[in-house]
């Protein structure tokens, strides 16, 4: 892969070395900048709202480690908590006080959660929650929404069938078709398709799994009444409602999407922010459901590094900082300023741009119509996004290298950062407007 950016000499060399030892040179596919026609930027350090690459170039960061860095990078109070924890040891494989302290904070923040199980990744949280839902209901089938990503476990690497709510087909080699057939895929924001799935598969659906704010096909907010309708359908048909709040939890509100939209889930999956930048996730819900987990129930789930003391220290420090007054008002204001500035820049450049924002996460889709579900996302102008991405990177703004990802605003971003980003966007959009 060639790199048009002459200033990325060390990143190019690092990528070539990585490709000799790592599949594709990365440990998570999107980091490879696939389809961006630009080699990946290797990050050397980060602080606040800025990241610095191997060549010493500084960028305003809107990736935020794909969501966790809501406080900004290397927040001094989080770093201090990590240092204190490291001094006591890195892993015990035994209970610690910090695990309970974190669980208490999660339960206080989210009214639908009574008991919590800590794990190490969002994939693990969703996989475990689905197993628990199947055991609790005695059913096997799951409904998920097209375009919503729930980790890389086999049940969810599926594509939609030919209808509007069909059993999935395996979308990844190695995923058994028999397992994919237990997942029904419906369009996001289409409650009627979910109702039809319940009618078609009477008594077989264990749970409806959804991102209450879709953020893995770009940001797509729930339509008015959508989450409420899913809640009613699950209640009517004896299924559980699982919210994947790995991204939205503690991001769109302190109590997540459930607080913002006033709809409670039976089970909630959390990650990203609750780890404070370290590998930590969780799932939780009503006690009657969670008590089915071993060691008090028969549903097995375990993890050697679950509740790691360093990760829980970072998590507790992060949530305590977010609980301070004014944090979410500031995030809302910064997100709104960025949205308005990008919209104005696009209008001035004559470039069609639809911006979806929920609090401090937003996406710009290169199209001239609303974006409400995955088919809308797939119809946007990806080629124009590539040009825009390259232009922003050249101008010192670090975005996710995909048209299907979000921009994350942090408390470390300043009004000056937002204005500088908008200035960069004005220039990049002018360039992107050309064929």
Handedness of CA 189, 195, 200, 205 (dihedral sign): positive
Is-contact 6 54, C-beta < 8 A? no
What pLDDT band is residue 1 in, cutting at 50, 70 and 90? very low
Q: What is the CA radius of gyration of the chain?
A: 21
Structure confidence at residue 163 (pLDDT): 44
Is-contact 158 175, C-beta < 8 A? yes
Structure confidence at residue 35 (pLDDT): 74
pLDDT, tens digit (0-9, with 9 covering 90-100), for 51-71: 999 999 999 999 999 999 999
What pLDDT band is residue 156 in, cutting at 50, 70 and 90? confident
Structure confidence at residue 195 (pLDDT): 98
What pLDDT band is residue 153 in, cutting at 50, 70 and 90? confident
Q: Where are the domains of the chain?
A: 9-74+325-432, 76-322
Q: How far apart are CA 369 and CA 47, in angstroms?
A: 37
Structure confidence at residue 194 (pLDDT): 97
Is the pLDDT at 394 greater than 60? The verdict is yes
Structure confidence at residue 179 (pLDDT): 83
pLDDT, tens digit (0-9, with 9 covering 90-100), for 208-234: 999 999 999 999 999 999 999 999 999
Structure confidence at residue 2 (pLDDT): 37
What pLDDT band is residue 164 in, cutting at 50, 70 and 90? very low
Residues 6+ apart with CB under 8 A from 220: 147, 188, 189, 213, 214, 356, 363, 371, 372, 373, 374, 376, 377
Distances (CA, A) of 214 to 164, 360, 404: 18, 14, 11
pLDDT, tens digit (0-9, with 9 covering 90-100), for 318-374: 999 999 999 999 999 999 999 999 999 999 999 999 999 999 999 999 999 999 999
Structure confidence at residue 433 (pLDDT): 77
Q: pTM higher than 0.75, yes or no?
A: yes
State the average pLDDT over residues 247-269. Answer: 98
User: CATH number of the domain at 76-322, out of 2.40.50.660, 3.40.640.10, 3.10.129.10, 3.90.1150.10?
Assistant: 3.40.640.10
What is the 8-class DSSP label of residue 58? E
At what angle are helices 327-349 and 415-432 packed, to 10 degrees?
30
Structure confidence at residue 155 (pLDDT): 77
What pLDDT band is residue 189 in, cutting at 50, 70 and 90? very high
What pLDDT band is residue 6 in, cutting at 50, 70 and 90? low
Structure confidence at residue 391 (pLDDT): 95
Is-contact 211 253, C-beta < 8 A? no
CA 316 to chain centre: 20
Name which residue leads in pLDDT, 104 or 39: 104
Q: Comparing C-alpha atoms, which of 38, 14, 9 is closest to residue 25? A: 14
CA 345 to chain centre: 27
Is-contact 81 89, C-beta < 8 A? no
The Cβ of residue 231 has, within 10 Å, a number of other Cβ atoms equal to 17
Q: How far apart are CA 105 and CA 92, in angstroms?
A: 22
Is the pLDDT at 121 greater than 80? The verdict is yes
For the chain, give the mean pLDDT.
93
Structure confidence at residue 151 (pLDDT): 87
Phi-psi map region of 158: left, alpha, beta (phi>0 left; psi -120 to 50 alpha): beta
Phi-psi map region of 305: left, alpha, beta (phi>0 left; psi -120 to 50 alpha): alpha
Q: Which CATH class is domain 9-74+325-432?
A: alpha beta
Q: How many CA atoms lie within 13 A of 117 on its CB side?
A: 30
User: What residues does 210 pair with on adjacent strands?
Assistant: 243
Pull the structure tokens for residue 280.
């930590």
Helix boundaries (H) for 172-325? 177-180, 191-200, 226-237, 256-261, 287-290, 309-322
What pLDDT band is residue 162 in, cutting at 50, 70 and 90? very low
Q: Which residues are catalytic?
A: 149, 244, 272
Is-contact 362 219, C-beta < 8 A? yes
pLDDT over 70 percentage in the chain: 96
At what angle are helices 97-109 and 309-322 packed, to 10 degrees?
30
């Amino acid at each position: 892969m060639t790199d048009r950016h002459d200033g990325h000499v060390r990143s190019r060399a690092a990528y070539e070395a990585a490709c000799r030892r790592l599949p594709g040179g990365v440990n998570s596919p999107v980091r490879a900048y696939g389809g961006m026609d630009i080699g990946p930027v290797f990050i050397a350090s980060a602080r606040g709202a800025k990241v610095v690459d191997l060549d010493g170039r500084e960028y305003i960061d809107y990736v935020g480690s794909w969501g966790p860095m809501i406080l900004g990078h290397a927040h001094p109070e989080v770093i201090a908590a990590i240092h204190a924890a490291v001094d006591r040891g890195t892993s015990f494989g035994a209970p610690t006080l910090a695990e309970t302290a974190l669980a208490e904070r999660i339960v206080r923040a989210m009214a639908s959660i009574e008991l919590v199980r800590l794990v190490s990744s969002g994939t693990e949280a969703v996989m475990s929650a689905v197993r628990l839902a199947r055991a609790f209901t005695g059913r096997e089938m799951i409904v998920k929404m097209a375009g919503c990503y729930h980790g890389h476990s086999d049940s969810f690497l599926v594509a939609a069938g030919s209808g509007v709510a069909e059993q999935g087909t395996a979308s990844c080699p190695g995923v058994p078709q028999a397992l994919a057939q237990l997942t029904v895929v419906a369009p996001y924001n289409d409650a009627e398709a979910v109702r039809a799935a319940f009618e078609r598969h009477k008594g077989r659906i264990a749970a409806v799994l959804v991102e209450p704010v879709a953020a893995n096909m770009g940001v797509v907010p729930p339509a008015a009444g959508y989450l409420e309708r899913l809640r009613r359908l699950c209640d009517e048909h004896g299924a559980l409602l699982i919210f994947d709040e790995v991204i939205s939890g503690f991001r769109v509100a302190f109590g997540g999407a459930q607080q913002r939209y006033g709809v409670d889930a039976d089970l909630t999956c959390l990650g990203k922010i609750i780890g404070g930048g370290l590998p930590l996730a969780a799932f939780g819900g009503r006690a009657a459901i969670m008590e089915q987990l071993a060691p008090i129930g028969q549903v097995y789930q375990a993890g050697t590094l679950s509740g790691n003391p360093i990760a829980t220290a970072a998590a507790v420090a992060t949530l305590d900082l977010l609980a301070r007054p004014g944090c979410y008002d500031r995030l809302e204001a910064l997100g709104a300023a960025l949205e308005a500035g990008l919209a104005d820049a696009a209008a001035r450049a004559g470039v069609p741009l639809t911006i979806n924002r929920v609090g401090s996460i937003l996406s710009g889709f290169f199209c001239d119509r609303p974006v409400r579900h995955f088919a809308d996302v797939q119809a946007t102008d990806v080629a124009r996004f590539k040009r825009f991405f390259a232009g922003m990177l050249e101008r010192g703004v670090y975005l996710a290298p995909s048209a299907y990802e979000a921009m994350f605003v942090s408390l470390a971003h300043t009004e000056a950062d937002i204005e500088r980003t908008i200035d960069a966007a004005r220039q990049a959009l002018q360039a992107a407007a050309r064929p």
